[in-house]
Amino acid sequence: MAAAHGDSRRAAADRAIGSTRRQLLAFDGRGAGLVSEVFGDLAHAGHIAVLVPGSDTSLDTYPRFHRAAEALYAAANRGPGPRTAVVAWLGYRTPVTVSTTVATTTRADEAAPQLQSFVRTLRELAPGAHLSVVCHSYGSVVCGRAAHGLDVADIALVGSPGTGAGDVAALGTRARVWAARGGDDWVGDVPHVRVDLLLATVGLGADPVSRDFGARVFDAGPADHSGYFTPGSASLANLARITRGETSEVTRG
């Protein structure tokens, strides 16, 4: 259909995602598109990480999200011990970076029930697995809004503009909450405020790497906003340790 409508970029993305080498749990090619893809053996994994993307992620830009999930999968399975499966969960309509939507929790509020439902399904499939969610950029807002209903051991926020909450306690979760921001990430210049206006609440709340927020801050090195999943980086190494439950090995920021 994409090819018939002259959208060669979408047609190419669809063909790549439809490859027989891929393990898809869900796919919806309408609009910006939705897809959930598995890396590894989900049914027999000892650890499962759900990667939640940020703004501007769609089927058209999916290759970069795929690379991030692939990098996390490779890093988490580098050593001995139970295998880790990673799910790239593009299960919501992400906002556009340059828009008013990205400064509110609206899209995250819409996405939170879907993420909660997805994690419940994973918990039923693998009741004994160590589950974590890794949330990048606006994806951390989604995780923040869903946190109270996520049966996971760890929530990791990277490049986060905020979660919509004032501190970890306000997230209403028993999970360990981690946060990191790279030295070259522009999101550090985003004002961390939350203002109630007549028709909407603008701003995403406290800075997750601030002392007052109360997260476990870990080292992300010099990562820029797109660099948290760069192979060999401090941020990826620490995310792999978190997804494996090796909390004592995480280097602090």
- Residue 148 belongs to a domain with what CATH number? 3.40.50.1820
Residues counted in the chain: 253
pTM over 0.85: yes
Q: What is the pLDDT of residues 115-166, one digit of tens each?
A: 999 999 999 999 999 999 999 999 999 999 999 999 999 999 999 999 999 9
Residue 163's Cβ-count burial label (10 Å; 0-12, 13-18, 19+) is buried
Residue 253 maps to a domain: no
Taking a C-beta distance cutoff of 8 angstroms, is the pair 15, 3 a contact?
A: no
Residue 75 maps to a domain: yes
Q: What is the pLDDT of residues 205-232, one digit of tens each?
A: 899 999 999 999 999 999 999 999 999 9
Taking alpha carbons only, the member of 204, 172, 206 closest to residue 105 is: 204
Which secondary structure element, helix H or strand E, spans residue 117, and what is its range?
Answer: helix 106-125
Instruction: Please give the residue range of the domain that contains residue 53.
Output: 8-245
Q: Would you say residue 201 has pLDDT above 80? A: no
pLDDT band at 193 (very low <50, low <70, confident <90, very high): low
Residue 251 maps to a domain: no
pLDDT of residue 196: 59
Residue 167 maps to a domain: yes
pLDDT band at 253 (very low <50, low <70, confident <90, very high): confident
Residue 79 maps to a domain: yes
Residue 252 maps to a domain: no
Contacts for 137 with CB less than 8 Å, ≥ 6 apart = 53, 54, 55, 158, 159, 160, 161, 187, 225
Residue 138 maps to a domain: yes
5, 19, 78 from 145: Cα distances, Å: 37, 33, 32
Q: How many domains does the chain have?
A: 1
Residue 129 maps to a domain: yes
